[in-house]
Every structure is written in structure tokens, then in C-alpha cells.
Amino acid sequence: MAEAKTPTETATFAGGCFWCTHADFEKVPGVIQVVSGYTGGQQENPTYREVCSGTTGHVEAIEVIFDPAEVTYPALLEVFWRHIDPTDSGGQFVDRGPQYRPVIFYHTEVQKRLAEASRAELDSSGRFNKPIAVDILPAEPFYRAEAYHQDYSGKNPSRYTLYRFHSGRDQFLGKVWSRKTS
């Protein structure tokens, strides 16, 4: 008799360059798959070049397929918050423009409530001097990015490491998350 498979869930996050968010989430136990792509805009089947132009309305995002028996949606939200600058709605680190803005796309009303509560908790934590500027929006069609963007950090470790260091992301995150709040 075949063993019953645990149903999976999907979470969608935009946190700047999808190479970085992909690499951060693929390390999380319980995450089955991370796909880099585009969502939130009006153009069907956009290309990387089109999204980078900032005219499609799409953001670079990741779709996270996870096993809720191994990792909870609130735990994924915590990973998201700890890997972005949630006060910067104009992009993330060196990547500027609306296509790099941070967004949580919810797939269910439960995800929406959990994301809103998580954002409110972070906003009142005193960790940041500016308000949290992350939108929480309903999930829209997700368009898979070109093959060379998938698992970029695994396929191009030297280039990825260089990009990530020069983006300022890790320096910012180390400073913010090593600091204690009152």
C-alpha cells in the first residue's frame, strides 16, 4: 500500500533580487522547492529584460512550495523578514525600482492574516527607525523566470557570492539582526 503524501502549500515572496531570496529559502528544512519568477503585474509571460525595465508592474519573486508538517507559514515569514530591508519600498539594496520592491503575496485568507500580524509585530518591535513598507497582496499569476535564473547560487556560486557581497544585503542584515531591541 502506498503511503499517503502530505499536502504541500505555496508561499510567494518578493524581496529584491530573486537570486538572493531563492538561496535563502532553499536552505529551510521543510521547503520542497523554490522557483524564481515574476508576479504582480499586468503583462503575461514577461521576460527578465521586460521586468527589469520596470514597466510590466511585476516584481522579481519566489514561489516556495513547502510541507506545512515540517515548516509553518509563520516560520517562512520570519525567514522573509530576516533577509530583506522591510523599510525600503523603492527596491532592495543595490537593486532599485518597483520590480525589486518587497511584497508578500498571500494564497489564502489565513496567510493574509498571519502576514498582517507578522508585519504589525515587526513594525512595533522597535528594530527599525522607519515604518515597515512591505505590501501584502493577493497572489496573482506567477511566471517562472528563465532557466538560467533558477538556482543561480548553486549553478554560479562564485558570481553569486560576489554579487551578494557587493549588494550590501548581508552587511545590512548582520547589523540589523545582531542588534538587540528594547
Q: Any idea which residues carry the catalytic annotation? A: 17
CA-CA distance, 16 to 62, in Å (whole number)? 10
User: How many CB atoms lie under 10 A from the CB of residue 97?
Assistant: 13
Take residue 68 and report the three cell numbers written for it.
506545512
**DSSP H or E segment with residue 164:** helix 157-167
* C-alpha distances out from residue 10 to 17, 72, 180, Å: 20, 11, 32
DSSP character for 5?
A: P
